[in-house]
C-alpha cells in the first residue's frame, strides 16, 4: 500500500513492505526515534544520523526520542544529543523509566517507597511521580523496580531485589531487552539483569514490564508527544517494530543496530516493519513500492525476488548503481509471503508465520536466503 496523502497506513504485519510517494519526513508529523543503534551507538553518532535528523527537523517533522534505556535522565540524554549535533530538549525524550514510574504510581499510594535497581534516570522518574526511591529490602519498600543501571551496578543490588521480590512485593521492570548495543559490540541489557532476579527467586515471580513493545510505553509516548501521524523508527524487531505493531502505527526499521537482513527476512508478522532503510537517510526520501508480479515474484526497483525449491532467488543487475535496499525490500516480499503460505512459496495461501533469526533450508517456513544475500554482499 502506498502513502500518498501523509495519512499513512497502520502497521498490520502484512506480507509486503509499505511504500510512500512522499518522503517519510513529510508523510508523518512526528518521528518516534529509538536511540541506541539508531541515533547513536556507544556514545557516538551513527553515520548519517545527525545530518538526516537535522534535515527532517528543518522540514517540519517533530523529533521525539523514545528509549527503553532507563539509565540516564531526559536532561542528560538531551544534552548528549545536542553535543552530537542533534539539538534536543528534555521534553523531546521519553524513557522507559518514565513509563514504569507512571505504571507504579497507578498501583501504589503517593509517597510510597520503591526499591530501585537502576540508574539516576529511574530515580528521577520515580520522584516525578511522587514516589521515594530506596536501596534496601529493609527500607520498607512497597514495590521493586529494575531498570538498566550500566556495567557498574553492584551485585548487591540484585540481591536486595531478590530478597524483596521473594517476600512477595510487586515487581516492575522498565524493559526486558536482553541486549544493548555499544561501541565494542552487543552487551547485556536490563532483561539480562531481570533474569538474574528471576533465577534467584526460583522463577516463581514475573515483573510487570513498561517498556517497548508493551502498551505502557506507547501510552507514555502518546501522552508526552501528542503525535497525530507518528512514525516509529528503530533497529529492533522485538521492541521497536513490535511496539509499533501493538500501537497500530507505522514503522521504519534502520539496519544500523541490532537487526540484520537475515533476521528481517525471518520476521513474524508482528515484527515486520512498514518500511526498511539502511540508515536514517530513509526518512528523507519516498519509499518505493514492492509489487507482486502475479508469477510468484516480487519486484522493487531493478530487482525481482522469488522462491524456488525452498530458496530465495534474486534477479537484478550485476554491479552499477542499483539500490541494494530495493533488493532487500523485494526479498522481504518474497520471504514474508512464502512464510505466510507455510514455506511453499505460494503467496496466495495461508499458513504459519516465520520465526526470527537466521533461516536455513526453509526452516519454519522461511526460505533459505544464503545465496541471495551473498550476491548482495550481506
pLDDT digits (tens, 9 = 90+) for 45-60: 999 999 999 999 999 9
Report d(CA 340, CA 201) in Å as an integer. Answer: 39
Which of 13-17, 130-134, 342-346 is the least confident region?
A: 342-346
Residue whose C-alpha is closest to residue 279's, from 47, 14, 79: 47
Residue 320: the pLDDT is: 63
81-96: average pLDDT = 96
DSSP state of 149: -
Residue 43: the pLDDT is: 83
Q: For the segment 252-275, what is each residue's pLDDT rounded down to a tens digit?
A: 999 999 899 999 999 999 999 999
Report d(CA 240, CA 211) in Å as an integer. Answer: 10
Residue 64 has pLDDT above 60, yes or no: yes
67-79: average pLDDT = 94
Residue 13: which pLDDT band, with cuts at 50, 70 and 90? low
Containing 269, the helix (H) or strand (E) segment is: none
Residue 349: the pLDDT is: 32
Asked whether the CA dihedral 281, 57, 271, 290 is positive or negative, the reply is negative
Residue 297 has pLDDT above 50, yes or no: yes
Q: What are phi and psi of 357, to 5 degrees?
A: 90, 180
Residue 201 has pLDDT above 60, yes or no: yes
DSSP state of 8: -
Residue whose C-alpha is closest to residue 254's, from 292, 285, 289, 282: 282
Q: How many residues does the chain have?
A: 378
Residue 347 has pLDDT above 60, yes or no: no
Residue 212: which pLDDT band, with cuts at 50, 70 and 90? very high
Residue 180: the pLDDT is: 82
Residue 5 has pLDDT above 50, yes or no: no
Using omega within 30 degrees of 0 as the cis cutoff, is the peptide bond preceding 213 cis?
Answer: yes
Residue 356: which pLDDT band, with cuts at 50, 70 and 90? very low
**What spatial distance separates the first Cα and last Cα of the chain, rounded to whole Å?**
27
What residues contact residue 143 under an 8 Å CB cut-off, 6+ apart? 104, 107, 108, 112, 114, 115, 169, 170, 171, 172
Residue 222: the pLDDT is: 86
Per DSSP, what are the bridge partners of residue 172?
145, 208
Residue 102 has pLDDT above 90, yes or no: yes
Residue 343: the pLDDT is: 56
What is the CA angle 78-84-88, rounded to 5? Answer: 30
Report d(CA 158, CA 165) in Å as an integer. Answer: 10
DSSP state of 365: G
Which of 2-16, 61-75, 88-102, 247-261 is the least confident region?
A: 2-16
Residue 183: which pLDDT band, with cuts at 50, 70 and 90? confident
Report d(CA 362, CA 125) in Å as an integer. Answer: 46
Q: For the segment 111-155, what is each residue's pLDDT rounded down to a tens digit?
A: 999 999 999 999 999 999 999 999 999 999 999 999 999 988 999
For all residues of the chain together, what is the average pLDDT? 89
Residue 186: which pLDDT band, with cuts at 50, 70 and 90? confident
Per DSSP, what are the bridge partners of residue 253?
234, 276
Per DSSP, what are the bridge partners of residue 180?
187
Q: With beta carbons less than 8 A apart as the criterion, state whether 233 and 10 touch.
A: no
Residue 319 has pLDDT above 70, yes or no: no
Using omega within 30 degrees of 0 as the cis cutoff, is the peptide bond preceding 158 cis?
Answer: no
- Residues with a known catalytic role: 34, 36
Residue 346 has pLDDT above 60, yes or no: no
Question: What are the start-end ranges of the H helices in 5-128?
Answer: 24-27, 49-58, 74-84, 96-105, 120-128
Amino acid at each position: 500500500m502506498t502513502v500518498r496523502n501523509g495519512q499513512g497506513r497502520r502497521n498490520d504485519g502484512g506480507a509486503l513492505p509499505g511504500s510512500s510517494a512522499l518522503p517519510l519526513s513529510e508523510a508523518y508529523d512526528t518521528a518516534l526515534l529509538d536511540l541506541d543503534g539508531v541515533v547513536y551507538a556507544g556514545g557516538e553518532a551513527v553515520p548519517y544520523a545527525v545530518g538526516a535528523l537535522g534535515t527532517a527537523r528543518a522540514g517540519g517533522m517533530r523529533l521525539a526520542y523514545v528509549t527503553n534505556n532507563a539509565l540516564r535522565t531526559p536532561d542528560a540524554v538531551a544534552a548528549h544529543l545536542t553535543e552530537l549535533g542533534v539539538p534536543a530538549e528534555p521534553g523531546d525524550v521519553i524513557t522507559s523509566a518514565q513509563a514504569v514510574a507512571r505504571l507504579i504510581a497507578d498501583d501504589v499510594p503517593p509517597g510510597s517507597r520503591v526499591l530501585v535497581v537502576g540508574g539516576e534516570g529511574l530515580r528521577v522518574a520515580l520522584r516525578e511521580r511522587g514516589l521515594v526511591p530506596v536501596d534496601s529490602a529493609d527500607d520498607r519498600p512497597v514495590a521493586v523496580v529494575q531498570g538498566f543501571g550500566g556495567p557498574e551496578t553492584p551485585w548487591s543490588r540484585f540481591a536486595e531485589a531478590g530478597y524483596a521480590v521473594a517476600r512477595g512485593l510487586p515487581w516492575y521492570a522498565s524493559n526486558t531487552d536482553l541486549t544493548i548495543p555499544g561501541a565494542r559490540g552487543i552487551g547485556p541489557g536490563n532483561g539480562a539483569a531481570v533474569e538474574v532476579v528471576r533465577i534467584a527467586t526460583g522463577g516463581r515471580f514475573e515483573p510487570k514490564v513498561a517498556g517497548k513493545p508493551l502498551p505502557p510505553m506507547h501510552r507514555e509516548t502518546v501522552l508526552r508527544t501528542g503525535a497525530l501521524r507518528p512514525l516509529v523508527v528503530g533497529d529492533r524487531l522485538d521492541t521497536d517494530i513490535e511496539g509499533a505493531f501493538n500501537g497500530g502505527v507505522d514503522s521504519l526499521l534502520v539496519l544500523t543496530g541490532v537487526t540484520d537482513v537475515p533476521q528481517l527476512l525471518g520476521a513474524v508478522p508482528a515484527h515486520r516493519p512498514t518500511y526498511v532503510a539502511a540508515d536514517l537517510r530513509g526518512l528523507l526520501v519516498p519509499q518505493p513500492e514492492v509489487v507482486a508480479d502475479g508469477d510468484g515474484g516480487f519486484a522493487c526497483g531493478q530487482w525481482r525476488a522469488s522462491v524456488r525449491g525452498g530458496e530465495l532467488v534474486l534477479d537484478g543487475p550485476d554491479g552499477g548503481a542499483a539500490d541494494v535496499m530495493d533488493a532487500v525490500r523485494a526479498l522481504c516480499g518474497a520471504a514474508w509471503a512464502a512464510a505466510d503460505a507455510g514455506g511453499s512459496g505460494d503467496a496466495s495461501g495461508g499458513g504459519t508465520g516465520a520465526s526470527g533469526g537466521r533461516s536455513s533450508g526453509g526452516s519454519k517456513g522461511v526460505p533459505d536466503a544464503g545465496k541471495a544475500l551473498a550476491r548482495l554482499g550481506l
